[in-house]
Structures are given as structure tokens and as C-alpha cells.
Structure 1
């Protein structure tokens, strides 16, 4: 065709016939009719993370693997830090004595999330083996803590190995999250030897922890008078559960105040997300960084508050509005593989496990409790499918961002490390799995699955009460 030369302009009829001829030549060169291209490459989506509906059994398998790996990380004994040998003689104090290292032996906020998740899984599934780990751990703590308390003057460090500052709380990280799980375990066992730690935690959060003039829990680091989004989870779940334990509404009131006053400084309405931190020095012009896990901490905190507060409690509706708005924004920010990014608004930052699990849990929870529409179901499903892809065969959780300070530059957040040793991912994965089991078994919802290998097929979550009864 490239050698065809026209010596004179074509009239309209000839031009039309010429164009028809070209089309016929092109069609004749195609091996298969156009209408038979159903199996042509590219028409059937190829999902890197399986676009399938999980099963409750499959989810429970993931939870069991995570549990087995996590509990295997520590023997929960007292050891000599120099030799690593187990201490069996407690008649004289060994100045090198520390709790054995390992995830499941820590008195830490990340372990607190795991233990709260274990409690929740037992409620959802009826499997008491999960909450059994809570009883084992807290019994281990209260049985051995007096050994250190009675010899505090002989200890050369402010931290006792993996128990941190258990003798003298200095920050919310030291006691709030794990204190919430301690309350939940106490409500099951009624072991009064837990009460001293519970009351010490309440004293620290309510009276000793630094606060701004308006009562907002805060830190004097890294900047003077700083508010961290993380601290919502380091305080609010404890306060709301302390209200359950004592029946004293002052704890409910403080929990509501912390959510709303932290949101007043950190929640950005036009983004429907939380800035990681705020400090008094920058004030209204504080730079904003929408770190994934910080937003996860806030959303999980609000879910816990909404689960416990009576529906007409003052401030609950305001919290519910923030929660719903965040979910709307997060649905739009979810990656095409079901993950969320370490910096939520920057899709060239890496996809991160802990925030993905946190959002999956909170969105599934909202559907199950009726706080948000069932149409968000596919967001939770794809979030879970992404999350479980990061659970290794041995139960370790990979792809979790390491501990992260309140920073003021994108470069820092972009380059945070991630690994199976960042324990912040384990509790959220367990929580997400428990809530997905509830969602998959929610008898108010009909789930229409995708058809594997179909050109055009998606999940549909239907609210049964909206449809005529099937005959």
C-alpha cells in the first residue's frame, strides 16, 4: 500500500469506494472475526493479589499461624542478661535479671494490641486458646514483678529489658495500650493481682502524663508541646475500658475529649485524614504528613470508643462523623492491589502492612456495627486479601513499617524500614482477621462473589432488608 500513488484528486464517490476498499483489506488480514475475541489477551484482568472472597476457615488459618509464630518468640521467663540463662533462685537479687526477650514477652504497646486482638478473636470465634495467651502473659508479669519492685534500688537502668519502664511509667507508650488489654483480661479472670497495674496505669494517664492547658494528652518531644496522632491509641482504649471496669463516666468523658481535641489539632477536613503530629511552635502552619499507621491508630481508637459508648452519649456523634469521613477518604486512597501506602496521599511511597490491616479492621467493623454502609464491603475484602499476602508461611507478618517518630520531612517517612521484626503489624492483622470472620458471617448481608476469569465481575455486598424477600 505504501507504493500506491494518486495522480489526480479523487471525487467524493471514488474517495468513499477507496476507503471501503482499505477497510475490506484490513478486515481480510485478521485471522479471527472481531466478535470472537472473548479470549484475547488483556481482556481478562490479571490480579497480583487474588480478587476472591475469603472464607472464614481460611481467615482462621491465618490467625492460627500468626498466633503460633508470635507466642513462640519468647519463653516468658526471667533470665540473666549477661549469660542468657534462666534464673530459678529468687531468694537473692541478680542485678542482671531481665524478662526474656521476644515479642510475646514484652510489656509494650505493640504487645498490648496483640493481646487485645486475642481477646477479641476469642469473643468472635469462641476459641479460648487465644485469650489463654493473655492470662499466661499477665500471670507471668504479676508473679515476677515484685522481684523487681522490691529490689528497685539495685537496678542500674530505667528500663527492665523487654518490660521497659514498668516500674515507673514515663509515657503513654509505657502503659496505655497494654493496660487496655490488661483490663479486658481482668474482666474475664477477675484476678485481683492485676488491679495494682491497672490502677497505676489509670493514675499515670489521668494525672501524671503531660497535657496541654485544655487537657489534651501531649508530649514535650520532639518539639515543645507536641500532639501525636499515635497517642490517641496509647490512651483512649485504656480510658474507655477503664470506664467499663469502674462504671465511672469520668473515663468515658476523658476518652471523648481526647479524640475530639486531638482531632481539633490533627484532623484535616479537606483531606479527611489525620496529620501525624502538631506542635505549638508551628501552630496553624504546622507541616502535614499523612502517615498511614498514625491514621490507623486514630481509626482503631474511634472504633473502640464507638463500640462501648452508649449511642446518645455526648460527643459520640462527632466521633462517628470523623470516623465515617475517614472511611470515605481511605476507600479512595486504597491501592489497586488492596494496600494503603506508608504516606497515604503519596502512592509512590511503599505499600505498608500495619495500616492496611488497621483500615481493613475498622472498615469491616463499621459495616458489621452499622456505622457505615455495606457498600464498603469490597474495600474490606481487598484490604484483607492484601494483608494476608504479607503473612508468611510460618506466621510472621512482613512489610510493617518500623517504629516512627513525629517527623517533619517526606524523605524520612519514605525511607522507614519495614520487616517482620516491626511488631506493630501483628495486632492489627489479628484484629482484621477477626472482623473479617464477622463480616463473612454477617447474616444481614448477601455477598455476590466475583467470577474467576470473568471479563467484568466484581463483589457486591447487598443489604438483605432493602430487597424484596426471595420466594
Structure 2
């Protein structure tokens, strides 16, 4: 039926009013019939009534999530042969009887002693827990065994090494900052707790010596840097320290590590958490103090939530700081749900939606929301936030498994122009670990037996996802 037919029917009616009464009745019936036919048209016939989603608004399957995780794993593994090579010739060094001054580490993500590789290895260990697929955790044992096999070669010849860094292993011989050891050290503890290789312990305790004793701190014990300003704190350093401290607590059973981890989160929050925004400023320094300029960089807030999740999972349930940490976690999730872009992504500067949508923070927030629901830290109604976040992430995982759209390494800066124009690429390795973590937690959410999901209907004018807690509803 068309509008033209309806108009003709009305004309017929009007003509009927001037004629016999039967024509009036017949005309009225025809109008009603044609009107009903118009209303009965399929939704597809009426432009604009069906939402057009930038990212598919659909419920993921376990198989689809696993396919993404394996694709990312395989790409990541392929980036390096994990060899000691001559930096001038590029050839593998096989003779270690004499030191080669050009000795370095082969290029590639999977050979790095770095904080971003630490996130990936922690995610591999977590995926092993969630799926039981040993292909992921095999990377952990292979990497750390390789490091420990070859590290003595460099330690023995330390005086001959002119640079403070050894290629992809960076400052492994002499830690200068939390970036050098905290995240990768946390993943090493997790690996040790599974494979129980005692050879790991000396290096783990050397990391602890730096994090717990040697790293610069403010007078109140807050971990800090003299960069870029004198006595600066970075939200990033929460992930560079808290997961390591939390896992040292697990390893040793000593509550001092849980106490220090909680102290870092709460004391950094005193300076960085902005209650009216329910977000963390990227950094703070003594120089600017109470009037520090504020920039709500996505990944900094992601590091914060990832660090909290690590600690909340393993700290004692009766720890004195637990409730305050849960409040921070819940309030940040509430704010982030509101700031999520309609595509499912979050923006590089969270409160400025004219900055680009960014992959690593989107993955971190997706993980944090799904994790919070699965652990009972936040309400289940946030389920669609995680779901749409995951759907968005999958559009950034390329066919070969590379993760695109991740913001490059970013310093603690003091102007919007800098944050607006950060580069993004598949070579910014900060996105790989969070994407793996997000996928693992989505698998747990899909399998969560406490929750029933009312799914959105495809091509519906008005349908969404509702996550419902089964125990709240009366049994039929």
C-alpha cells in the first residue's frame, strides 16, 4: 500500500458524502482498510525507523571470542624469533664463549622485557585459567626460560656494555624505573606460581628490591618520579607497581604487600581522583600542587582500573581498605558508562568526544566492567557496556591478528594539543594485553550462570540487551 492509494481512498470517501449513504459507509471502510494496510507494512519499508549501528549491536558467541584471542596470540607470537643476535649483521649468536660487543635481542613484541609485554604475558596466564588452552601460557614459560638462559651472558660482561639498555630487554641489568620491571615482574610471579621454576625467584626478588626499596617515593610513601616535573606521580604507575605488589603478597603470604598496594591506589587517588568527574587525572606534581591542570587520558584511567582489579581479586576480603577501593572502582565504572561513545569505544581524552576513539583504553574498560560483574564488585546492569565495548574492539583486530588504533606511548603532559595529536598504530603494543584480557573476561561473562541475558532483537525499532540477576526474580 502507498500514500497515493490512501489519498485516492479519501477522495472516494469525500465523493461518497455527496452521494448515497451506502457510498459513505463503503468509502469509510475502504479508508480504514487501506490505513491498516499502511500500518502493517514491514519496518524495512519505512526509512529511518530501524537503528543503523556503526558497530554491530549483537550478542557475541564464545567461538567468536576465542577466534579473536587466538588470532591475536598467533600474530603476537610471530613478531620475534626470540634470539640473541649481532646488531650489525642481524645473525643469531650461537658462540657464547667470548662476549660479542654487538650482542642484542632480536626485534619483535614477543621478545621484549617491557611493561607492555608483561600485560600480554599476564593475559596469557589468565586465558589459560579461563579456557585451559595451553597454547597461551606456553609463551610465558618459553619467554622467561629464554631470558634466564641468556641473562648471565650479559650480566657477566656488564662492564663491556656501553649502553644502559640491551635492545628489547631495556634496563634489565639495572632497573631505573617502575616501567623497567613492575608489570613484567608481576607476570613472572604468575608464571612461577604455575610452573614452579625456582630459577625465577632471584630475578623476582630483584624486582621487589627495586619496587619496594629503590624506586623514588614521596615522603608519605607514594611511588613517584622526577619526570617530567620534580616529584611527579603518574596514574600509569599504578599498573607498573600494584599488580607486582599484589602478586608478591600471593607469593609470600606477607600482608605488607597488600597494604603497600592499597596505599599506592588510595594516596595517588588523593591527588589524581576528581570526585565530580569520577575519573583520574593523568598526573600530578609538587610543582603545580592543588592547581594542577587536569587531563583525563583514557589509558591512564585504564591502568588504574586494571591495577584495582588485580588487587581486589587477591587481597584479603576483610582488608581495611577494601571498601574504599570498591567505591573508587564503582564510581569510575559509573562515569565511564556515561562517557562511552555510541560506537562502543571510548575516546583518547575521555571527556572530549572530538578526540579519536582509542583501542587500548576501550579494552581496559571492557575488561574492568566485565570483571566487576563476574566478581560481584559492580551491578550486573552494566553488562551492555562491556558487550558493546567488546564488539567495538573486534573491529580493530585486523585479519592477521594485529591490534590497530592504539595510542602510542604518552608522557604526562600539560596541554590538550599534545593529547589530541598522539599517534596510533598496530606497533603501539599497549593494546595487545588489554584486548586479550577483555576477551578472556567476556568469555567468563558469557558463561556467567548467575545472569540471564535478554538479547536485543535484530532489525527491531526498540530493543536492547538486559542483563538480569537470576536470584532476584521469583521462580516460576
Task: State the partner residue of 2:141.
Answer: 135
- Between the aligned partners of 1:32 and 1:252, the Cα distance in structure 2 is 68
Residue from 430, 435, 459 that aligns with 1:429 = 435
Summarize deviations over 1:403-425 as a string: whole Å, max 9, x none.
Answer: 00000000000000000000000
2:230 aligned counterpart, secondary structure: coil
Q: 1:352 aligns with which of 331, 348, 358?
A: 358
CA RMSD of aligned residues (A): 1.5
Which of 319, 330, 335 aligns to 1:329? It is 335
Which of 333, 336, 339 aligns to 2:345? It is 339
Aligned to 1:13: none
String of CA shifts for 1:299-325, please: whole Å, max 9, x gaps: 000011110112110111101000000
1:109 and 1:339 map into 2 onto residues whose CA distance is: 24
Aligned partner of 2:240 in structure 1 is 234
Structure-2 residue corresponding to 1:208: 214
Distance (Å, rounded) in 2 between the aligned partners of 1:60 and 1:406: 35
- 1:255 and 2:261 aligned: yes
CA displacement at 1:35 relative to structure 2: 2.6
Whole-angstrom distance in 2 between the partners of 1:148 and 1:135: 20
Counterpart mapping for 1:167-316 below 5 A: 167-316=173-322
1:468 deviation in Å? 1.7
The equivalent position to 2:76 in structure 1, one of 70, 78, 87, is: 70
Residue 35 (str. 1) matches residue 39 (str. 2): yes
- How many residue pairs match? The answer is 444
- Stretches of structure 2 that go unaligned for 5 or more consecutive residues are 1-30
Report the Cα distance in structure 1 between the residues aligned to 2:103 and 2:282, rounded to whole angstroms: 37
Query: 1: CA distance between counterparts of 2:475 and 2:149?
Result: 58
In the alignment, is residue 399 of structure 1 matched against residue 405 of structure 2? Answer: yes
- Matched ranges for 1:80-159 at <5 A: 80-159=86-165
Alpha-carbon distance in structure 1 between the residues aligned to 2:197 and 2:83: 20
SS class of match (1:446) = strand
Give me the whole-angstrom Cα distance separating, in 1, the residues matched to 2:324 and 2:217.
22
Q: Matches of 1:153 and 1:399 in 2, distance apart?
A: 41
Question: Secondary structure at the residue paired with 2:308?
Answer: helix
Alpha-carbon distance, 1:33 to partner: 6.5
Q: Secondary structure at the match of 2:366?
A: helix
For 1:207 and 1:48, the matched residues in 2 are separated by: 49
Q: TM-score, normalised by structure 2?
A: 0.92
